[in-house]
């Protein structure tokens, strides 16, 4: 045995020993023996295999098992499954071998994990189809997705060893799917780390800059928090409460995300201070009462902001999260967020599902998490057959923020944000939704499209004569409502087709004609329809009249319409050039975006959804027609594509652009004064020779708000323009606005 192999074996054994020493739920001798057996099996299976980083492959399963044990608090079955999770996928061992050696439960989990791996190694449509199967496994055993999250977390921690295109795909996938999944399962710490690591690899410069600014501000922040906390500490000590208090730093991703969504600077985001109070509950009163008691102590010292009170104790979040959030003003006039939690609530907040399982015995009723897993099954049963649409619906319905609305009898219904009154109707029952004609929200009559808000009391008005309409699909937001409406519309179409078929056959019988392909060759072009179903449907709807049927049947079968349409179609098809292939380009190299897209070897198109301009961080996406579409790297559509179709993504960089101009949008606010508009247009048109497309200004109480669309060559020109405009006296803020396509 070589010295190098001996060294590797020693390191492997050390890693495993650390795992065994940090398994709080593996206490029985039989459990420890099973974990050892799983390690030996996996170690043998992955023998002499190295990771891309150069370390022994078995390091990865051990690391995943440690995350499962130490960071999630899961037990023996999960730890063994984590150690074995890549054996079936990457070695010659089969699922049958796992079942024979470790039993049915572990084999089922490994099967689910193997399916997930296949999903994220394949193309988009297969990903989405297989993801549906995975969700069925989650509904049966949520440990499958917990172990997969641990696997993804370790992969993200070691992502530096991957090539740039893989880093981009995996990071996009993580932001789009895995981080929201971790959040929904209550794994706050893991969700935060996944988001931060994704940002680090998607935008390394942005990440480093925010990290640097946090470190510079940290000393000042700690001092302010200490000064703020001191009076609260004195009050809690006087009351004899056992507690710990700490400053809650914002994650790098949450700072960046707020900077993007709110269009504000780092300083504006980081200005909000936050502390967390975690208390040991006493047996004399309920945790809820103790939370409100601590809140009362805080508001005796500091003035609260009533509209920022968040009570997740009376009604926990869907992932089981419980806490009381309040915002109060400190002595320097700054807002400070205070979170109050018991030790139990804190463990659920940090460790999610594992802690939920631990405390489940304390609550007789179903938890929000149990209901969420039930909802997964519901969506799987009623979801769209289109795979990508299904993925969108899944994210929309299971990861979105929630509102709580009330039935007329006072029962609470949790629904996704932006749900309509019609969504609520379908949430009660599909029959209520199908027959809905209107709603009363807080006793006031509203249309079915009305968007509900938390706290609304909703009553649905129905009629037996009502039927679902196609436009209803634009009113609703939930998968359940969309599926019910689509099902009802399909049933109506099917009934109409049957009726139309019966009507046509009756008329043909009168003409002594038997339906045949020769007959339909006459009827379809004559009525300008493309197939029999369309013909039947239009007959039943009264759009097509059969009064002239006999004349059509007597006509020559060669119609002008069919003669015109077929040659035209054929000509277009033969003239279509073969689209350029992504295989002609090395995905590992950045695509260079030159000034004239049509003159490049590989032409490109600027995405309308985000309208990037030269200088923006950009990526390229090969569409199904072989066209390269350039998106902003932070465009939501681009993030989704990175996740679903990562094998079609390429990094992109701009050359110097000085010929073509690109549309950009800026917003301005400031003090209204005589000549202000003239000064602004002078800077834009005369000083910088920029063409304005649209110019909108609103003035209210001496303050103006303006939005200007203009054409620039690149981000450098745009930044110069913003800088020059901000120098005008009276201008308060100038910033670039995102352009969203239709």
Active site residues: 89-90
- Comparing CA positions, the residue from 428, 437, 420, 522 lying closest to residue 478 is 420
- What CA–CA distance (Å, rounded) separates 177 from 191? 11
End-to-end, the C-alpha distance of the chain in Å comes to 65
Residues 6+ apart with CB under 8 A from 212: none
Output DSSP code: residue 56: B
| DSSP conformation letters of 394-419 | HHHHHTS-EEEEE-TT--EEEEETT-
Q: Using N-to-C axis directions, what is the helix angle for 517-526 and 532-541, rounded to 10°?
A: 60
Report in angstroms the alpha-carbon separations of 440 from 209, 449, 707: 51, 12, 38
Specify the DSSP element, H or E, that contains 198.
helix 188-202
Q: Encoding tokens for residue 162? A: 């991957």
Contact 167, 404 (CB under 8 A): no
244 backbone dihedrals φ, ψ, rounded to 5°: -135, 150
What CA–CA distance (Å, rounded) separates 219 from 205? 23
The three-state secondary structure class of 157 is: helix
Per the CB < 8 A criterion, the answer to whether 174 and 154 are in contact is no
Rounded-to-integer distance, Cα 145 and Cα 165, Å = 25
Specify the long-range contacts of residues 192-197, CB closer than 8 Å, at least 24 apart: 192/251, 192/253, 192/254, 193/153, 193/156, 194/149, 194/152, 194/153, 194/156, 195/251, 195/253, 195/254, 196/251, 196/252, 196/253, 197/156, 197/157, 197/159, 197/171
Three-state SS at 361: helix
What is the spatial distance between Cα 148 and Cα 167, in angstroms, rounded to a whole number? 18
What lies within 8 Å, CB to CB, of 576 at 6+ separation is: none
- Measured distance CA(51)–CA(38) in Å, rounded: 20
Residue 75 three-state SS: coil
Q: Return the closest-CA partner of residue 316 out of 362, 353, 369, 387.
A: 369
- For the stretch 406-432, what's the b/e string if a residue is b when 16 or more beta carbons lie within 10 angstroms of its beta carbon? beeeeeebbbbeebbbbbbbbbeebee
How far apart CA 625 and CA 378 sit, in angstroms, is: 35
């Amino acid at each position: 045995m070589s010295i190098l192999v001996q060294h590797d074996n020693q390191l492997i054994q050390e890693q495993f020993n650390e795992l065994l020493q940090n398994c709080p739920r593996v206490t029985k001798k039989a459990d420890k023996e099973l974990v050892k057996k799983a390690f030996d099996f996996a170690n043998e299976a992955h023998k002499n295999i190295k990771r891309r980083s150069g370390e022994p492959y078995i390091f990865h399963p051990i690391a995943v098992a440690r995350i499962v044990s130490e960071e999630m608090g899961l037990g023996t079955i999960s730890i063994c499954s984590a150690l074995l999770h890549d054996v079936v996928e990457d070695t010659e061992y089969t699922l049958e071998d796992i079942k024979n050696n470790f039993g049915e439960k572990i084999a089922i989990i490994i099967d689910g994990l193997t399916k997930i791996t296949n999903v994220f190694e394949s193309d988009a449509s297969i990903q989405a189809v297989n993801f549906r199967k995975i969700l069925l496994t989650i509904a049966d055993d949520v440990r499958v997705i917990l172990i997969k999250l641990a696997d993804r977390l370790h992969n993200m921690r070691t992502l530096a060893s991957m090539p740039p295109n893989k880093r981009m795909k995996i990071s996009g996938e993580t932001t789009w799917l895995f981080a929201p999944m971790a959040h929904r399962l209550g794994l706050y710490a893991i969700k935060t780390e996944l988001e931060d690591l994704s940002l680090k690899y998607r935008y390394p410069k942005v990440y480093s800059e925010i990290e640097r600014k946090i470190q510079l501000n940290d000393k000042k922040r700690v001092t302010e928090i200490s000064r703020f906390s001191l009076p609260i500490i004195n009050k809690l000590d006087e009351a004899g409460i056992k507690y710990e208090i700490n400053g809650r730093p914002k994650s790098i991703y949450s700072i960046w995300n707020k900077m993007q969504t709110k269009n504000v600077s780092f300083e504006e985001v980081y200005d909000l201070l936050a502390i967390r109070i975690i208390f040991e509950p006493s047996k004399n009163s309920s945790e809820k009462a103790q939370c409100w008691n601590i809140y009362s102590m805080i508001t005796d010292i500091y003035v609260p902001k009533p509209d920022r009170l968040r009570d997740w104790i009376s009604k926990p979040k869907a992932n089981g999260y419980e806490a009381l959030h309040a915002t109060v003003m400190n002595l320097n006039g700054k807002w400070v967020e205070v979170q109050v939690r018991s030790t139990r609530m804190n463990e659920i907040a940090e460790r999610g599902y594992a802690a939920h399982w631990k405390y489940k015995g304390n609550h007789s009723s179903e938890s929000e998490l149990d209901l969420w897993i039930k909802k997964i099954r519901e969506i799987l049963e009623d979801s769209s057959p289109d795979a990508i649409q299904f993925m969108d619906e899944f994210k929309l319905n299971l990861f979105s923020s929630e509102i709580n609305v009330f039935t007329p009898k006072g029962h609470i219904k949790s629904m996704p944000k932006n749900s309509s009154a019609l969504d609520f109707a379908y949430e009660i029952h599909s029959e209520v939704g199908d027959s809905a004609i209107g709603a009363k929200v807080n006793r006031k009559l509203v249309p079915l499209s009305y968007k509900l808000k938390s706290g609304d009391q909703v009553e649905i008005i129905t009629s037996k004569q009502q039927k679902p309409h196609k436009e209803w699909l634009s009113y609703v937001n939930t998968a359940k409502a969309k599926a019910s409406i689509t099902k009802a519309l399909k049933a109506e179409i099917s009934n109409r087709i049957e009726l139309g078929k019966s009507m046509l056959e009756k008329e043909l019988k009168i003409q002594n004609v038997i339906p045949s392909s020769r007959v339909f060759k006459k009827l379809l072009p004559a009525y300008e329809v493309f197939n029999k179903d369309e013909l039947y449907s239009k007959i039943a709807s009264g759009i097509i009249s059969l009064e002239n049927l006999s004349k059509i049947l007597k006509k020559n079968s060669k119609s002008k319409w069919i003669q015109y349409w077929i040659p035209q179609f054929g000509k277009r098809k033969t003239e279509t050039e073969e689209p350029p292939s992504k295989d002609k380009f090395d995905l590992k190299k950045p695509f260079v975006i030159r000034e004239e897209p049509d003159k490049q070897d590989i032409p490109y198109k600027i995405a309308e959804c985000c309208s990037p301009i030269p200088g923006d961080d950009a990526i390229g996406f090969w569409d199904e027609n072989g066209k390269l579409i350039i998106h902003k790297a932070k465009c939501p559509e681009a993030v989704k594509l990175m996740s679903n179709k990562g094998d079609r993504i390429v990094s992109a960089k701009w050359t110097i652009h000085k010929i073509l101009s690109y549309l950009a949008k800026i917003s301005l606010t400031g003090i209204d004064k005589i000549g202000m508009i003239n000064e602004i247009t002078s800077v834009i048109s005369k000083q910088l020779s920029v063409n304005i497309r649209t110019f909108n200004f609103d003035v209210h109480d001496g303050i103006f708000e303006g939005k200007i669309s203009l054409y620039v060559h690149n981000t450098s020109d745009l930044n110069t323009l913003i800088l020059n405009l901000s120098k005008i006296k009276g201008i308060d803020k100038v910033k670039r606005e995102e352009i969203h396509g239709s």
